[in-house]
Amino acid sequence: DVKVTQSSRYLVKRTGEKVFLECVQDMDHENMFWYRQDPGLGLRLIYFSYDVKMKEKGDIPEGYSVSREKKERFSLILESASTNQTSMYLCASRVSYEQYFGPGTRLTVT
């Protein structure tokens, strides 16, 4: 079974902190994605990556950056967390057209 893991299920951070969300997949997938999920807005794509050291902006990249130094790991970085970044963050990896999701990290910024 494909497995996508995320470093934390729940996270509470203060405004202005630098926040790292980690995602690891175990199936050698080239494509990885970060989404945020908010009530009434569905899934919104933040960043994605086709390969190591490659990244592409999604629909809402502002306030975020990413890092992909190894194929299996895709990190989302909030350089200076703000309260409007309180959300559920979902990581996914993909082979062909089938996408596999991690369990999500619920981030609260206070």
Residue range at the interface with another protein (CB under 8 A); choices 12-20, 60-68, 71-79, 88-96:
88-96
* Residue 31 near another protein by CB under 8 A: yes
Q: Check if the beta carbon of residue 89 is closer than 8 Å to that of residue 105.
A: yes
Phi and psi at residue 98, in whole multiples of 5°?
-100, 125
Alpha-carbon span 9 to 94, nearest angstrom: 21
Q: By CB under 8 A, tell whether 1 contacts another protein.
A: no
Minimal distance, residue 16 CB to another protein, in Å? 28
User: Which residues lie below 8 Å from residue 28, measured CB to CB, with a gap of 6+?
Assistant: 71, 72
Residue 99 found at the interface with another protein (CB under 8 A): yes
Give bridge partners of residue 50 from the DSSP assignment: none
45 binds another protein (CB under 8 A): yes
> Quick one: which of 58, 60, 67, 77 contacts another protein (CB under 8 A)?
58
Using DSSP's 3-state secondary structure scheme, residue 85 falls into: helix
Q: Using CB under 8 A, which of the segments 11-19, 67-75, 76-84, 95-103 binds another protein?
A: 95-103
* Residue 102 touches another protein, criterion: CB under 8 A: yes
